[in-house]
Amino acid sequence: MLEIRNLHARIAEDGTEIIRGLNLTVKAGEVAAIMGPNGSGKSTLSYILSGRSDYEVTEGDILYNGESILELDPSERAAKGIFLAFQYPVEIPGVATMQFLKVALNEQRKFRGEAELSTPDFIRRVKEAAAQLQINPDMLKRPLNVGFSGGEKKRAEILQMALLEPKLCILDETDSGLDIDALKIVADGVNALRSPDRAVIVITHYQRLLEYIVPDTVHVLYKGQVIKSGDKSLALDLEANGYADIIDAAA
């Protein structure tokens, strides 16, 4: 589903290279965890996959279902099924949450040549998904993410993901700022989306989230490269021993 080949990327503004020859393959149905110390390029990788223009790809390629996505803008990537759950969801005053959800859903459908959802259909879907994530319907009446607590914002991200039904889900530190109950709810929401034709990339610092969203593969990112890959036991190993040994071995 996703194949990243020898990717090099830098910050557009000042040219700082963050991703330095990264290779990664994620198959349909797979849950891949990406771990790594601060500053290793984890969040940058998620932004690059979503098409954020603050970063420039200088070498290599990103293939999604066999096609390069480097020339696609963020909305096209989203409509093709790539979804990034943000580490810091953005508050947008004046944009009603429901209106935002409806426009996003229907613009994606339009892009894929599908019919727009009727309003009753749309509302029913939102209500069902919100109930599953224990989201208070009053929250949806507020402007997008405005005044949401940290946990509410993360749940709102998963709500968007559930509604948009992407094929490649990228969760950027979705566990940060969540208490254990909220973490379980969010993990349940993600697990509900696991399916043979969907891949999930979980970016996290901690093993804790991976107890609830159990990964098929674990990849360690360091200085913009994947320096070690393994199965879920690698995450336990990191939790127990830290990154130093792996980094030393890769050097």
Q: Provide the binding-site residues for other proteins, judged by CB under 8 A.
A: 50-53, 73-75, 78-79, 84, 86, 89-90, 92-95, 100, 103-104, 107-108, 111, 143, 160, 164
**Lookup: tokens for 221:** 């990112």
Sheet of strand 67-68, all strands in order from the earlier edge strand to the far edge: 17-26, 2-11, 55-64, 67-68
Contacts of residue 168, Cβ cutoff 8 Å, sequence gap at least 6: 1, 2, 26, 49, 64, 81, 82, 83, 198, 199, 200, 201
Ramachandran angles phi, psi of 193, nearest 5°: -90, -10
Residue 195 Cβ vs other proteins, minimum distance, rounded to whole Å: 20
**Closer CB to other proteins, residue 104 or residue 247?**
104
What pairs with residue 220 in β-bridges?
35, 228
Residue 62 Cβ vs other proteins, minimum distance, rounded to whole Å: 15
Residue 114 Cβ vs other proteins, minimum distance, rounded to whole Å: 12
Closest to 195 (Cα-Cα) out of 170, 163, 166, 231: 166
Residue 172 Cβ vs other proteins, minimum distance, rounded to whole Å: 11
Contact 248, 46 (CB under 8 A): no
Helix (H/G/I), strand (E/B), else coil: 146: coil
**Closer CB to other proteins, residue 98 or residue 247?**
98
* Distance, CA of 232 to CA of 5 (rounded, Å): 23
**Closer CB to other proteins, residue 6 or residue 103?**
103
**Lookup: tokens for 235:** 């995450």
Residue 89 Cβ vs other proteins, minimum distance, rounded to whole Å: 8
- Extract the runs of DSSP E, i.e. beta strands, from the chain: 2-11, 17-26, 31-35, 55-64, 67-68, 82-85, 168-172, 199-203, 217-222, 225-230
Residue 8 Cβ vs other proteins, minimum distance, rounded to whole Å: 22
**Closer CB to other proteins, residue 166 or residue 215?**
166
**Closer CB to other proteins, residue 40 or residue 108?**
108
Residue 159 Cβ vs other proteins, minimum distance, rounded to whole Å: 12
**Closer CB to other proteins, residue 111 or residue 192?**
111
**Closer CB to other proteins, residue 68 or residue 75?**
75
